[in-house]
Amino acid sequence: MIQRASHRENFAHDMERDRSFRSILCPMNIPDFDDEAATWDDDPRKVQRAADIARRILSLCPCSSGDRVLDFGAGTGLLGTHFVEAGAEVTFVDPSAGMRAQLEAKLRARSAEGWRSLDLEDPQIAVPGGYDLIVSLMALHHVPDPGATIAQLSQWLAPGGSLALCDLEPEDGSFHDPGTTGVHHGFSPEQLRKWCEAAGLSGFRCETVHAVEHDQDDGGVRRYPLFLVVAKG
Ligand SMILES: C[S@@+](CC[C@H](N)C(=O)[O-])C[C@H]1O[C@@H](n2cnc3c(N)ncnc32)[C@H](O)[C@@H]1O
């Protein structure tokens, strides 16, 4: 009887955890990303941005062969593939099947080794011992609850592992097309520090690393700065 009750309690607890996991990380606007996947890598500015940011992350968080790296919201893997090239074992996670298909085709065409590609709700994301490094580029502004997501990412880190998040600094809402819903309009360093500290991370640092350029109808260019946050588990 006691065992049954306890089993029910555990089950209820698991269900609760599963529900909260989904509500924390549940994807938004995925059909859009599926539609964009095939041409995502055609924009040389996106490719260059990921290369520059990977280089900066590697200078702050050196990566050794065999290190376990998670690219969260990986898309076609523009960021995480640099860590595959550095010899890491890279897990790419993205809720868009279209994005994952592009990533998988690209890495197979390169005969790359030491990687896997998972859906956002795959229980295999968590690895025993945790990840040495978790990176993410331009995904945080798409999650429903960024603070809870940082808490979840910190739980997937190995003790002493590093979290490196790159996304938009506060913007006026013009980054996405008019009428776009379900996105955050950037994040301040103060807010990011609070979320990292609440998640138990230490050694918080935040810097401006890049600016995304959007061409305007009048021929001008509008710049949207990106932050890079690094903190340790
Ligand atoms: C702007 S794209 C960035 C993709 C890639 N990191 C890059 O820099 O090229 C945002 C990515 O976040 C993914 N995404 C959307 N909602 C998400 C969520 N709740 N959790 C994780 N990733 C999500 C999308 O499928 C998409 O691939």
Domains and CATH numbers, the chain: 2-232 (3.40.50.150)
Per-residue pLDDT of the chain (233 residues; tens, 9 = 90+): 223 333 333 333 333 444 444 556 666 667 789 999 999 999 999 999 999 999 999 999 999 999 999 999 999 999 999 999 999 999 999 999 999 999 999 999 999 999 999 999 999 999 999 999 999 999 999 999 999 999 999 999 999 999 999 999 999 999 999 888 889 999 999 999 999 999 999 999 999 999 999 999 999 999 999 999 999 99
Pairing of strands 89-93, 68-72: parallel
Which residue, 133, 131, 89, is CA-closest to 114?
A: 89
Find residue 129's DSSP bridge partners.
none
Q: Is any ligand 1 atom within 6 A of the Cβ of residue 75? A: yes
Q: Find the 71 Cα to ligand 1 centroid distance in Å.
A: 10
| Cα angle for residues 58, 60, 61 (degrees, 5° grid) | 60
Q: Tell me the residue type at 183.
A: V
Q: Find the 135 Cα to ligand 1 centroid distance in Å.
A: 12
Q: pTM of this prediction? A: 0.91
How many angstroms separate the CA atoms of 218 and 85, rounded? 40
Q: Is any ligand 1 atom within 6 A of the Cβ of residue 99? A: yes
Q: Is any ligand 1 atom within 6 A of the Cβ of residue 101? A: no
